[in-house]
Amino acid sequence: MSEPSRALVNILFPLLLLVFLGLYVAGLAAGVEPEFAMLRAGLGSLTLAVVGRFATGMLENLPPVVPVEEDDPESTATMDLMSQIADAQSLRAAESESVVPPFVQTPNPTLFTSAKE
């Protein structure tokens, strides 16, 4: 077993004991017969143990962590991408300044005439 899963197992067993004890005491406090309280607490703890075992099995099968290497900001690919972003931003800014709504460019002559004329 690897170190993280060993640490999980060391935490899992005391937690199972606490869950069993808590369920048993809660069952007794609710007025359930002690045999049925112990049965319910045992089944709950057993279910938790099975789920915990599957979880530790999944964690053991994870691929190893690969460190991510950061790109050099001076690299050509990064610089090309940055220049494309800057070009797109400047193009958007130029378009937003030069665009005039169509109703201002060509006024509709029938808009200002009355129906009587």
- pLDDT tens digits, one per residue of 4-37: 567 777 787 888 889 899 999 999 999 999 999 9
Q: Which residue has the tokens 């530790």?
A: 56
Q: What is the pLDDT of residue 109?
A: 60
* 52: in domain: yes
* 31: in domain: yes
- pLDDT tens digits, one per residue of 95-116: 666 555 555 555 556 655 655 5
29: containing domain: 3-60
* 86: in domain: no
* 78: in domain: no
* 43: in domain: yes
Q: What is the pLDDT of residue 57?
A: 79
Number of structural domains in the chain: 1
Q: What mean pLDDT comes out for the span 34-58? A: 87
- Tell if the pTM clears 0.95, that is, is over it: no
Q: What is the pLDDT of residue 28?
A: 92
